[in-house]
Structure formats: C-alpha cells, structure tokens
Chains A and B, each alone.
Chain A
C-alpha cells in the first residue's frame, strides 16, 4: 500500500468528505454548483445527488452522519461490530453497538474516489486474502486489516448458507484481527415452521453472543422504538414501490440507491423516515406533473436489475440510464418483503412487525433478517419457491420491465454459478436479459466506458427501443 494512503484512515476520509458534501446542500443551488467546480472527482458524485434538491441533500446528510457515528463510536463509548449490509442492524442499535458495513463503505469509496477502493482491495491480497474474493468486502476490508479505520470489537454476519465469499471475508477479518465471530447461518428454505424455528434459535444465539462480548444488555424499549420506526418506513417504502408501477415511472433511478443505503444505515431511525418522506413528496410531484423520474422526464424504457448495481466512479450507471431515458426499476437490493409491500406473493413470503412482547420482537428481527436482499433471494435453488427466479419474474412483471439486467462482481460465486440458467428462464418469459461482466466495485476489471458500450449494444441488438414503441 502506498505510504501516502496510510496518512488517514479510510473511514475518517469518507467522513470528512461527506461532511463537506452534506454541508453543500445547505447552500443555494447557485452556491453549490459554483463550489463543486473546484472538486473534479467529488463534483461528479455530488452533482447527480444534489440535482435531486432536498432529497439529495438529506441523503448526503444521512451518509455523513453514518460515517461520523463510526469514527466517533469509541469516544461515544460504543462497541463496534463489523457486519455485512445484509444484516438487519436493529439488534445492534438496541444493544448500543455501532455497525460498520464493509460493502457500504466500499460502494461509497467506489463512487467517490477516482481509484475507488482498489488499493485497499490489493492490500487484502498482500495479506493473504484471495484476489478472487468479492470486491465489495475486499475494498474496505483492506483498510480495516491495515488498521486504517475505527477499532473493531467483534464480527457478526449472516451470510453462511447464502454467500460463501461474503461470510469468508468476515471470517478472515475476525481471524486476522483476532476478534470474536458469530455467524447466522441460513437453511435453503425461507418459509415453514422449521425454518422459522431455526431463524429464531440462531438469532437468539446472536443476542447471547453480543451480550457476552460487549457486556451490553438488550434494551427492549429501544428495540420497540426501532421496530415501530421500521413500520413507518415500510409503509413509505411500499407506497414508493406502488408508485414505481406507474408508466412513466415517477421514481428517479438513483432513489433506489437512497432507499437501500438509507435502510442499511438507518433502518429504524427517524433520519431515514424523513428521507423517505422527502422522496415520497418528490415522486408525488413527478406524478402530478406527469413526468418520469429520469432527468429529462421522458421515459423510453424500463429496466429491472435482477441482482445488484454498478458503483463505478460518480454514479455513472444511474447517469447513463438517465441520459438514455431508461427508468431503473430497482434491484434485489431495494426489496425487503414487509407484509404491506405490493410485490408480496403471499403472507409467508413476508415479515410482520410485532412489538407485543420481547419474543415477538426477536422473531420479527430474525424474519426481517431472513428477507434481506441476498439472504432471501439466493439461499436456495434459484428456481425454488420464493427464490431468485420467482422474485425476478414477479418484480419484472409487476413493474412492467422491458428488460432485465444482471450486474454483480466476479467474486459472486453463487450467482455466477447459475446466472446463465436464470437468464435462459427469464428470456423464456419474454424479457431480454443482459449480463454485465464488470465488477460493480472495481473498474479495473472492466471500465465503465466498456460496460456502457455493451449496454448500448444490448439495447441496439435486441431492438429494444423500437419494439417498445415509445422511442423514435
């Protein structure tokens, strides 16, 4: 690792940059537009976010607060847990533990820095971690293994049974940093009494582990507050999902990023509720004026990402779709399956927030956890009930997608093992599918320019614009 990179901790750098970004939103549009001219890379990410006015400003504030919470955690007397984006954080916050999510910080670094998090990724390899491991963890993991981040107290994940590479990265981190480790492990089936009983037992094991390692007790009142806030957030998210069904889609593509990052960082907190309320207002305004959520307001096509997004420098993916008039209908990252969501196939598929007593709350969080993006979608055979194919087809159908796109990282052993199969099945149902071979977090694998070229080729070769009839 370059010596100069060791000058500042990664989380501290992100916190500093994001605090400036968050403050920009306090000024007038003229002020922030004049200011960002002096920050060539920084401007590229701030502009597409602040283009969305107060929503963008609130999102930047949320990000800034999150990084500040992390870097100040120890001074605030909190324990710090290294965890994955797919872990519901309610239980951590109810036990006064600050979560650090590798994937979120890698995504922010990839969006923000010209070189993304690649030098930290390479540092992981120097330490013995495989270069074929998923880049979403490797990015920030390198920084934490180098001691360039807040001190970690413990590691807790929920990926065994879902994604080997994710769980493996955290297990490696725990061993390398010599920290206690707990892993929730999921069976292939999502529903049924056995699965539910298992989720509960395993989750209780997590609570016992957290209590033992931190000395903190579960604050039942705090957990109830968090879950009540989740109820409000789920209602807002479901409303947004409902609005996304409209043609044209009034939801700006980049809002999907706001939904899921906001939920991972502050699910159960009022700051995220407020962000969602602002998003609802902006979307309703689009509906009232009959315009699409994309920048010029004219929707030509609708694309559903059936895995994850591409976090290339400066949110280029969202910008590319915007400039091509293509609405993004979200990805698996933006769906959580609360019982009031419009896409819920049946009640068993979803979770219900029940705060009547402690056991009910623990069951609730365990079931929410089991329905986070990957923990739900890719735990069992892709064509089994409630799994990847069923979700993809129902979401693509419900949101009237014109095509489906797979984007991931080469480190995703799980989905690369069956993406050709699901692609064939989705195509059989009439949706043209494009497989992106880039790395969502590492532009060295394939430049964004190349990715964009191939997207262009896909839309052209599959004659999508013409057959859709809404363009040209």
Chain B
C-alpha cells in the first residue's frame, strides 16, 4: 500500500494537507459527494472531505445536535469543535440528508460558543433530490452560486478552461480508479478490500496530482506482484451508509472473506462514470453529479440502484452482500430492507446490519454477525 494513502486514511491533518497548508494554498472542507470537486481544483483549492475520525468524545456534537440523530455529522462537529479542522479556509455543507444539512446551523451556532471554529468561507450548497430538467437547472444555478462565492471570497477567477482542465484531471483519476477496481473482478483478486478502500478514502483528501501518482504507483505494484491473491475466499460486496475509514472493511475481511466491491459514498461511486469534457463545463458537472447519483436521498430511484447493485454482483462475482446502515440513517436502512428482499429473491445471500458510526464501536457484535453470515453461506453452498 502507498504510504501517502495510509497517512491520508489515518490522519485528518495528513502530511500532504500539511504541505499544501504551509505553502499558503487554500483548503476547503465539504460534506457530501454531490459537490463537484472540479470547481475547487480549478481554483487551486484543495477539497477535503470532512470525516469524523478519531474524536476524543462526542460532547460537542451532542451539545448542538439532538439525541435522535446519526453520529456521523455529530462526530464531524466534534472534530471541528476540538480544532482538528482548524486548517480549513472554508467549508461547504451540502443537503445530503437532513442530519448532515443541519451541520450548517450546528457549526455556526457552535462557533458562538467556541470562537474561531467557523472557517472564513462557509457555504450552504443546496442539492435537488431528483433528476428532471428543472432540477438540473436548479443544480446548475447552485454550482454557479458556489463558484461565484468562491471567486469573491478567495479573489480568484474560474474560467471554463480552468474547469475543463480540472475535469480532465479528475476524469483521469476516475480512469485510474476503474483500472484498480477492475483487478477485483478477476478470480485472483490481487488486493484486499481494505487496501482498495484506503485508496478510495485517500482520494477524498489528497491533491489531484499526488493522488493520481499514488494510484498509478499502486496499479504498478499490483501488476508486478500478484502473489497476494485471494482466490479461495468468499467474495463480499458492501453497501449502505457512509463509511469514512477502512476499519469496517478490515473487520469484515478479518472474518476470512475478501471485499471485492462497494456501493458506499466514499470513493468508488466517483469512478463509475466521467464528466463530459467536450461540453460547457458547468452543465456537464451538473449532469454528472446529479444524474449519476446513487444515493437513496434521490427518492424514487430505487430500481436504478438495485440494477447497479446487480451489475456489481455479476461483474465482481459476489458471493454475498452486506447491507449496513448507521443508526438513524433511515435513507439507507429503508433501502437496505428492499435490497434484502429483492436480493434474497435472486438467491443472493444478504446480511443486513445496523451499526453505530465510528471506527471502534461495536467491533465484537459486528464480527460475530459477519462470522455467522459467512458460516451460513458455507453451509448453504455445501447443501446446494
């Protein structure tokens, strides 16, 4: 594994962010995969997806959020309050889900009590919940609004040429991700899900060039050394709520399987398709980021998402699917209920689990559930 990726996985203020920061360049945090990163890259601003890793407690998150709320945005707020995101020059909060969109107010109000935690640039980015001509117009306008806000605040000008350059660079990354991902479709599966997911998370916090170089190097290493193949293990697909560290994947794989595919909003969804390079860039970004969305917040799109899951199951020759949701994430939980029904009808083994967000929470219970699931799959196979 690439050291830069491991550092990016484990440290909020990783070496590359530190390098970027100390060189005087700007960094903007963001909360959701609906934000077109290309607009930040085009302005030479490093986009850093906000994660909730390594909080010291939840006392700050619990102070502003109410009790019946997913711990993911609470944990981000906790880190913000602890000063772990003090390096940010700005933050963009998207309307991913209700709990996450309220990070906007919780962050602003927490700043009244903990002075200085609100970055100088703070923007609320509204995202439609459906794909239609008028919602695409709305989303396009939102992108234009955030571009305008960035230009004014950071005194930059974003030309179409800048955006197209950033789009091409990001498309190159998507191509590299696809290449890496394709290794997992083969019988030999030369990399673990943990390693793959580490690379995916790294992509949400590293500069484009550093990340592209890392992916290229990782692909080269895998091509040169396929000895660590996982040919005899159960092949698992994991889907559901947000997962911003590799510990969950590591825990699953510690039970004796290999995660060969994901449908999670950190990482691989970004590799699934490209932004058109030959058309007006803002419209192209709007189309790609809204129309290609596979999040259950896009109400009424279940059949498309089921189709995507089936495609992945087939392509990656998946033996079993784990659908998981963080407590109070009803969007994924309800969808997982439907996946469970529909995949079971196709004789695809499914494990549905609810978990608390966080890297070290509920390890024993989760491991027991996964162990039992794998054991059940083995017995079913023997019987069949």
Contact = CB atoms under 8 A, between A and B. Distances in A.
A93 B171 CA distance: 49
B124 A185 contact: no
Contacts of B371: none
Contact of A185 (B67, B73, B130, B341): B130
Interface string B104-134: 1110010000000000000010101110111
Contacts of B297: 160, 164
B134 A198 contact: yes
A187 B126 contact: yes
A447 interface: no
B99 A413 contact: yes
Contact of B99 (A133, A172, A417, A419): A417
A413 B329 CA distance: 9
A167 B99 CA distance: 15
Given A128-B338, A130-B333, A164-B98, A416 B302 contact: no
B141 interface: yes
B130 A132 contact: no
B330 A174 contact: no
A132 B328 contact: yes
B377 interface: no
Interface in B138-181: 138, 141
B379 to A, nearest CB: 24
A202 B129 CA distance: 12
Nearest to A133: B330
A194 interface: yes
Given A128-B340, A176-B338, A417 B330 contact: no
Interface in A177-195: 181-183, 185, 187-189, 194
Q: Which of B141, B299, B325, B328 has the most A CB atoms < 10 Å from its CB?
A: B299
B327 interface: yes
Nearest to B301: A171
A212 to B, nearest CB: 14
Interface residues of B, number: 48
B242 to A, nearest CB: 14
A437 B66 CA distance: 10
Contact of A167 (B102, B105, B129): B129
Given A133-B330, A168-B331, A202-B134, A417 B106 contact: yes
B83 interface: no
A348 interface: no
B327 A188 contact: no
Interface in B28-77: 63-70, 73
Contacts of A164: 97-98, 297, 330-331
B374 to A, nearest CB: 22
Contacts of B134: 197-198, 201-202, 205
A417 B66 contact: yes
Contacts, number: 142
B102 A417 contact: yes
A457 interface: no
A319 B49 CA distance: 50
Nearest to B104: A381
Interface string A431-442: 000000100000
B24 interface: no
B65 A420 contact: yes
Nearest to B333: A130
B145 to A, nearest CB: 10
A168 B330 CA distance: 8
Contacts of A415: 66
Contacts of B66: 415-420
B97 to A, nearest CB: 6
Nearest to A435: B66
Contacts of A342: none
Contacts of A167: 129, 299
A413 B330 CA distance: 9
A95 B296 CA distance: 30
B124 A188 contact: yes
A128 B341 contact: yes
Nearest to B300: A181
Contacts of B328: 132, 413
A413 B68 contact: yes
> Which 9 pairs across A and B sit closest by C-beta, in order of nearness?
A128-B337, A417-B102, A416-B66, A160-B129, A130-B333, A201-B134, A414-B98, A413-B98, A171-B299
18 contacts: A130-B333, A132-B330, A133-B334, A160-B129, A161-B129, A164-B97, A164-B331, A165-B98, A165-B330, A168-B334, A185-B130, A187-B128, A198-B137, A414-B98, A415-B66, A416-B65, A418-B105, A419-B66
Given A130-B330, A417-B106, 5 more contacts: A128-B341, A171-B299, A194-B138, A413-B99, A413-B330
Interface of A: 127-130, 132-133, 160-161, 163-165, 167-172, 174-176, 181-183, 185, 187-189, 194, 197-198, 201-202, 205, 381-383, 410-421, 424, 437
Interface of B: 63-70, 73, 95, 97-99, 102, 104-106, 109, 124, 126, 128-130, 132-135, 137-138, 141, 296-297, 299-300, 302-303, 325, 327-328, 330-331, 333-334, 336-338, 340-341
